[in-house]
Amino acid sequence: MDVIVNLFCAAVLAGTPLLFGTLGEILTEKSGNLNLGVEGMMFMGAISGLAGALFYENLFSVPGGIPAAVLAVVFSFLFGMLGALIYSFLTVTLRANQNVTGLALTIFGTGFGNFFGDVIGGRSASGYAAVGAATKAVFQNIRIPYLSDIPYLGKLLFSYNFLVYLGIAVAVTMAVFLNKTRTGLNLRAVGEDPAAADAAGINVTKYKYFATCIGGGICGIGGMYISMVICSGVWVNNCVSGMGWIAVALVIFATWSPSRALLGSLVFGGLSIMRMYIPLGIPSQIYDIFPYLATVIVLIATGIRQSREHAIPKSTGVNYFREER
Amino acid sequence: MNLIRSRSAVEKKEPFVRMVKRSGITWRKAYLIRALALICALLTGALIILLLGHNPVSVYADMIKGSFGSRISRIETIKIAIPLLGSSLCVALAFKMKFWNIGAEGQILAGAIAASYIALFHHQSMPGPLLLIFMFLVAVLAGGLWGLIPAVFKARFNINETLFTLMFNYIALGFINYLQNGPWKEIPGGFPKIAMFAFDARLPKVFGVHIGWIIVLALVFLVYGYMKYTKHGYEISVVGESSNTALYAGMNVRKIIIRTMFISGAIAGLVGFMQVSGSDYTLTNYTANGVGFTAITVAWLSKLNPLIMVAVSAFLAILQKGSNRIQTDFKIPASAASLLTGTILFFMLGCEFFITYKLIFRKGQKNGRNR
Amino acid sequence: MTDELNAIRLMDITKSFGDVLANHNISLDVRYGEILALLGENGSGKTTLMNILSGIYYPDSGHIIVGGEEVSIHSPKDAHDLGIGMIHQHFKLVDVLTATENIVLGLKGDARLNRKDLNETIGKLSAKYGFEIDPAKKIYNMSVSEKQTVEIIKLLYRGAEILILDEPTAVLTPQESEKLFKVLRNMRNDGKAIVIITHKLNEVLAVSDRVSILRKGCSVGTVITGDTNRQELTELMVGRAVSLEIERPDPPAIKDAFLKVIDLTCVDSDGHTVLDNISFTLNRGEILGVAGIAGSGQRELCEAITGLYPIKGGAILCRGETPSGSFHENIVGKTPTEIIKKGVAMAFVPEDRLGMGLVASMDMVDNMMLKSYKNGKGPFTDRSTPKKMAEHMIKALDIVTPGVFTPISLLSGGNVQKVLLGREIASSPSVLLVAYPVRGLDINSSYTIYDLLNEQKKKNVAILYIGEDLDVLLELCDRIMVLCGGKVSGIVDAKKTSKDKLGLMMVHADSEKDGETA
Q: Degrees (nearest 5) of the Cα angle B91, B93, B96? A: 100
List residues of chain B with CB under 8 Å from any CB of chain C.
Answer: 1-4, 6-7, 9-15, 18, 21-23, 229-235, 237-238, 241-242, 244-245, 247-250, 252, 371
Mean pLDDT of chain B: 89
CA B35 from centre of chain: 20
Task: Assess contact for B107 and B147: CB atoms under 8 A.
Answer: yes
Highest mean pLDDT among B259-263, C3-7, C128-132 belongs to B259-263
Task: Assess contact for A302 and A248: CB atoms under 8 A.
Answer: no
Mean pLDDT of chain C: 88
The strand pairing partners of C273, in sequence order, are C267
Using DSSP, state whether B170 is helix, strand or coil.
Answer: helix
Domain boundaries, chain B: 80-331
Burial of B186 (0-12, 13-18, 19+ CB in 10 A): middle
Q: What is the pLDDT of residue C211?
A: 95
Task: Assess contact for A132 and A64: CB atoms under 8 A.
Answer: yes
Whole-number Å distance between alpha carbons of A140 and A159: 10
Give the end-to-end CA distance of chain A in Å, rounded to a whole number: 63
Closest B-chain CA to C339? B250
Cβ-Cβ contacts under 8 Å for C69 (sequence gap 6 or more): B7
Instruction: Verify whether the Cβ–Cβ distance B335 to A111 is below 8 Å.
Output: yes
Quickly state the pLDDT bin for A175 (edges 50, 70, 90). very high
Which positions in chain A touch C102 (Cβ < 8 Å)?
A: 196, 200
Whole-number Å distance between alpha carbons of A64 and A72: 11
What letter does residue C229 receive in the DSSP assignment? -
Whole-number Å distance between alpha carbons of B261 and B217: 21
Digit-coded pLDDT (tens) for B26-65: 888 888 999 999 999 999 999 999 998 899 999 999 999 9
Closest C-chain CA to B8? C71
Whole-number Å distance between alpha carbons of C228 and C211: 9
Using DSSP, state whether C341 is helix, strand or coil.
Answer: helix
Digit-coded pLDDT (tens) for A258-294: 999 999 999 999 998 888 888 877 888 888 899 899 9
Instruction: Verify whether the Cβ–Cβ distance A100 to B177 is below 8 Å.
Output: no
CB of C154 less than 8 A from some CB of A: yes
Digit-coded pLDDT (tens) for B110-121: 999 999 999 999
Whole-number Å distance between alpha carbons of A116 and A109: 11
Q: What is the pLDDT of residue C322?
A: 57
On the question of pLDDT at B142 being above 80, the answer is yes
Which positions in chain C touch B3 (Cβ < 8 Å)?
A: 67, 82-83, 161
Whole-number Å distance between alpha carbons of A17 and A264: 12
Average pLDDT on C81-85 reads 92
Average pLDDT on A11-15 reads 94
Which positions in chain A touch C94 (Cβ < 8 Å)?
A: 188-189, 192-193, 196-197
Burial of C296 (0-12, 13-18, 19+ CB in 10 A): buried
DSSP readout, B225-280? HHHHHBHHHHHHHHHHH-HHHHHHTT--HHHHHHHHHHHHHHHHHHHHHHIIIIII
Q: What is the pLDDT of residue C321?
A: 62
On the question of pLDDT at B370 being above 60, the answer is no
Instruction: Verify whether the Cβ–Cβ distance B234 to C70 is below 8 Å.
Output: no
Task: Assess contact for C386 and C366: CB atoms under 8 A.
Answer: yes
Residue from the list B3, B18, B249 with its beta carbon closest to the beta carbon of C67:
B3
The strand pairing partners of C28, in sequence order, are C10
Element (H, E) at C481: strand C479-484
Instruction: Verify whether the Cβ–Cβ distance A118 to B168 is below 8 Å.
Output: no
Pairing relation of β-strands C287-291 and C462-466?
parallel
Does residue C106 or residue B12 have the better pLDDT?
Answer: C106
Across B62-79, b (16+ Cβ under 10 Å) vs e yields bbeebbeeeeebeebbbb
Average pLDDT on C461-482 reads 94
Which positions in chain B touch A114 (Cβ < 8 Å)?
A: 333, 335, 338
CATH class for the region spanning C257-506: alpha beta
Q: Degrees (nearest 5) of the Cα angle C322, C323, C327? A: 60
- Total domains in the fold of chain A: 1
Q: CA nearest A24: which of A144, A224, A174?
A: A174
On the question of pLDDT at B238 being above 70, the answer is yes
Closest B-chain CA to C383? B229
Residue from the list B13, B241, B248 with its beta carbon closest to the beta carbon of C350:
B248
In this structure, how many other beta carbons lie within 10 angstroms of the beta carbon of residue A75?
25
Q: What is the pLDDT of residue B369?
A: 36
Q: What is the pLDDT of residue A263?
A: 94
Q: In one letter, which amino acid is B255?
A: K
Whole-number Å distance between alpha carbons of B333 and A294: 35
The yes/no answer to whether this complex scores an ipTM above 0.85 is yes
Q: What is the pLDDT of residue A252?
A: 87
Q: What is the pLDDT of residue B11?
A: 47
Residue from the list B1, B250, B371 with its beta carbon closest to the beta carbon of C335:
B250
On the question of pLDDT at B3 being above 70, the answer is no
Q: In one letter, which amino acid is B30?
A: A
CB of C56 less than 8 A from some CB of A: yes
CATH topology (fold) of C3-238: Rossmann fold (3.40.50)
Looking at residue A148, which CATH number applies to its domain?
1.10.3470
On the question of pLDDT at C50 being above 80, the answer is yes
Which positions in chain A touch B159 (Cβ < 8 Å)?
A: 299-300, 303-304
Closest B-chain CA to C340? B250
Pairing relation of β-strands C69-71 and C61-66?
antiparallel
Residue from the list B52, B163, B339 with its beta carbon closest to the beta carbon of A299:
B163
Which site among A173, A185, A202, A315 would you substitute to test the C interface, given the most C Cβ atoms closer than 10 Å to its Cβ? A185
CA distance C106 to chain A (A): 5
A-B CB pairs within 8 A amount to 140
Task: Assess contact for B134 and B211: CB atoms under 8 A.
Answer: no
Lowest mean pLDDT among A278-292, B158-172, B267-281, C380-394: A278-292
Closest A-chain CA to B149? A296
Lowest mean pLDDT among B6-15, C223-232, C454-463: B6-15
Intervals of CATH 3.40.50.300 along chain C = 3-238, 257-506
Burial of A226 (0-12, 13-18, 19+ CB in 10 A): buried
Closest A-chain CA to B337? A111
Q: Torsion angle of alpha carbons A264, A266, A272, A275, nearest 10°?
A: -130
Digit-coded pLDDT (tens) for A231-241: 999 999 999 98
Average pLDDT on C46-54 reads 92
On the question of pLDDT at B208 being above 60, the answer is yes
Burial of C435 (0-12, 13-18, 19+ CB in 10 A): buried
Q: What is the pLDDT of residue C509?
A: 61
Whole-number Å distance between alpha carbons of A287 and A293: 10
Highest mean pLDDT among A69-78, C77-86, C184-193, C216-225 belongs to A69-78
Instruction: Verify whether the Cβ–Cβ distance A249 to B300 is below 8 Å.
Output: no
Q: What is the pLDDT of residue A132?
A: 86
What letter does residue C357 receive in the DSSP assignment? I
Instruction: Verify whether the Cβ–Cβ distance C69 to B7 is below 8 Å.
Output: yes
DSSP readout, C14-71? EEEETTEEEEEEEEEEEETTEEEEEE--TTSSHHHHHHHHTTSS--SEEEEEETTEEE
Residue from the list B167, B178, B181 with its beta carbon closest to the beta carbon of A295:
B167
Task: Assess contact for C159 and C84: CB atoms under 8 A.
Answer: no
Quickly state the pLDDT bin for A183 (edges 50, 70, 90). very high
Cβ-Cβ contacts under 8 Å for C2 (sequence gap 6 or more): none
Chains that touch B (3 or more CB pairs under 8 A): A, C
Q: What is the pLDDT of residue B13?
A: 64
Q: CA nearest C496: which of C478, C481, C472?
A: C478
In this structure, how many other beta carbons lie within 10 angstroms of the beta carbon of residue C68?
14
Digit-coded pLDDT (tens) for B290-336: 899 889 889 988 999 999 999 999 999 999 999 999 998 998 898 89
CB of A177 less than 8 A from some CB of C: no
Q: What is the pLDDT of residue A264?
A: 93
Q: CA nearest C198: which of C319, C299, C50?
A: C50
Which positions in chain B touch C357 (Cβ < 8 Å)?
A: 245, 248
Q: Torsion angle of alpha carbons B128, B129, B130, B133, nearest 10°?
A: 120
Whole-number Å distance between alpha carbons of C105 and C94: 10
For chain C, what percent of residues have pLDDT higher than 70? 96
For chain B, what percent of residues have pLDDT higher than 70? 93
Instruction: Verify whether the Cβ–Cβ distance A292 to B171 is below 8 Å.
Output: yes
Whole-number Å distance between alpha carbons of B286 and B289: 5
Q: Degrees (nearest 5) of the Cα angle C16, C22, C23? A: 95
For chain A, what percent of residues have pLDDT higher than 90? 63
Which positions in chain A touch B178 (Cβ < 8 Å)?
A: 283, 285-286, 289
Quickly state the pLDDT bin for C516 (edges 50, 70, 90). very low
Residue from the list A111, A119, A303 with its beta carbon closest to the beta carbon of B158:
A303
Average pLDDT on C323-335 reads 73
Whole-number Å distance between alpha carbons of B230 and B235: 9
C159: left (phi over 0), alpha (psi -120 to 50) or beta: left
Instruction: Verify whether the Cβ–Cβ distance A181 to C111 is below 8 Å.
Output: yes
Average pLDDT on C369-377 reads 88
Does residue A128 or residue B39 have the better pLDDT?
Answer: B39
Does residue B358 or residue C150 have the better pLDDT?
Answer: C150
Q: What is the pLDDT of residue B12?
A: 54
Instruction: Verify whether the Cβ–Cβ distance B166 to A245 is below 8 Å.
Output: yes
Highest mean pLDDT among A23-32, C24-33, C169-178 belongs to A23-32
Digit-coded pLDDT (tens) for B81-119: 999 999 999 999 999 999 999 999 999 999 999 999 999
Give the end-to-end CA distance of chain B in Å, rounded to a whole number: 34
Mean pLDDT of chain A: 91
Q: What is the pLDDT of residue B364?
A: 47
Whole-number Å distance between alpha carbons of A319 and A34: 10
Q: What is the pLDDT of residue C324?
A: 55
On the question of pLDDT at C504 being above 50, the answer is yes
On the question of pLDDT at B1 being above 80, the answer is no
3 state SS for chain A: CHHHHHHHHHHHHHHHHHHHHHHHHHHHHHCCCCCCCHHHHHHHHHHHHHHHHHHHHHHHCCCCCHHHHHHHHHHHHHHHHHHHHHHHHHHHHCCCCHHHHHHHHHHHHHHHHHHHHHHHHHHCCCCCCECCHHHHHHCCCCCCCCHHHCCCHHHHHCCCCHHHHHHHHHHHHHHHHHHHEHHHHHHHHHHHCHHHHHHCCCCHHHHHHHHHHHHHHHHHHHHHHHHHHHCCCECCCCCCCCHHHHHHHHHHHCCCCHHHHHHHHHHHHHHHHHHHCCCCCCCHHHHHHHHHHHHHHHHHHHHHCCCCCCCCCCCCCCCCCCCCC
In this structure, how many other beta carbons lie within 10 angstroms of the beta carbon of residue A185?
24
Closest C-chain CA to A185? C105
Q: CA nearest C26: which of C55, C51, C1, C56?
A: C51
Q: What is the pLDDT of residue A324?
A: 64
Q: What is the pLDDT of residue B6?
A: 43
Average pLDDT on C219-241 reads 89
Quickly state the pLDDT bin for C513 (edges 50, 70, 90). very low
Which positions in chain B touch A299 (Cβ < 8 Å)?
A: 153, 159-160, 163-164, 167
C-alpha to C-alpha distances, B303 to A39, A66, B95, B296, C88, nearest whole angstrom:
25, 50, 10, 11, 37
Domain of A63, in residue numbers: 2-324
Average pLDDT on C274-287 reads 94
